[in-house]
Copies of this chain bind each other. A is one copy, B any other.
Amino acid sequence: MIEGLLTKLREKKPLVHHITNMVTVNDCANVTLAIGALPVMAHALEEVEEMARAAQALVLNIGTLSRQQVDAMILAGKAANSLGIPVILDPVGAGATALRSRSAERILDEVRVSVIKGNSAEIGILAGKGGRIRGVESEEAAGDMVEAAAELAHRYGAVVAVSGAKDIITDGERIAFVDNGHPMMGTITGTGCMLSSVVASFCGVEKDGFCAALAAFVCFGLAGELAAARPETKGPASFKTAFFDEIYNLTEEKINSGKKITRQ
């Protein structure tokens, strides 16, 4: 299902246009390079459509949104839609403020999104199933996250990918769980944003967003496990260094032997 995707990604080097937050933008660029794709960040209203049309995937991340930035996201998203370029939405902090919830919904209403990637609170809140978020961190999830994710997937015709101890990926019909990952990933900022960049990188070479997201979650979580096991890892910053290195050093073999996917 995900076999060969990393190889394809590294051959095609898809260009991933990001309109994203200022906190983790450098990490998003570096993780995109590490997985094998090509990042570009551009947010000016005057250029986002042109940049989106030149890309193979578009990431919209509302982590430090402004009204004008959301306008740019919608322009870029529509341009991407017009050419069938996949759009990945990371609704960072949806539920934490009205602006974030409304902006995520506005994007979903106006842009055809291929993959919505969020934590359990963000997805639960967008699905209308509840959840509680503190800043941008999930504190409490909806009772049944699988149901919430599937409902959101149906509503927008999108793949919904929920990061957590056990990740959930669904297009409303197919459901997969990914058990890869490590608690050290929660000690650094931006792992959620970076994961969205990796999802977008795979979407740039794989039309089936379900498979693309699955590959991304496995790669990302597996790299986290490998990095946590490295002797150099003595805290969050050395973990982060090892994590980027492990993403760069992933191979089909490592993925094949390390992936922890269960299907429902």
Contact B41 A63 (CB under 8 A): yes
Distance from A153 Cβ to chain B, minimum over Cβ atoms (Å) = 27
Contact B245 A40 (CB under 8 A): no
Besides the contacts A42-B97, A51-B97, A235-B244, what 4 more A-B pairs have beta carbons closer than 8 Å? A26-B27, A40-B135, A41-B64, A234-B249
A140 an interface residue at 8 Å Cβ cutoff?
Answer: no
A130 an interface residue at 8 Å Cβ cutoff?
Answer: no
A29 an interface residue at 8 Å Cβ cutoff?
Answer: yes
> How many copies of this chain sit in the oligomeric assembly?
3
Docked pose: A51 CA to B97 CA in angstroms = 7
Instruction: Label chain A's interface by main secondary structure.
Output: mixed
Q: Which residues of B contact A258 (CB under 8 A)?
A: none
Contact A30 B236 (CB under 8 A): yes
A-B contact pairs, 7 of them (CB 8 A): A22-B22, A26-B189, A47-B97, A236-B248, A237-B240, A238-B242, A241-B241
**In-complex Cβ contact of A245 among B21, B26, B99, B236 (8 A):** B236
A interface with B by C-beta (< 8 Å): 15, 17, 21-27, 29-30, 33-34, 38-44, 46-47, 50-51, 54-55, 63-67, 93, 96-100, 134-137, 187-190, 232, 234-238, 240-249
Docked pose: A105 CA to B100 CA in angstroms = 31
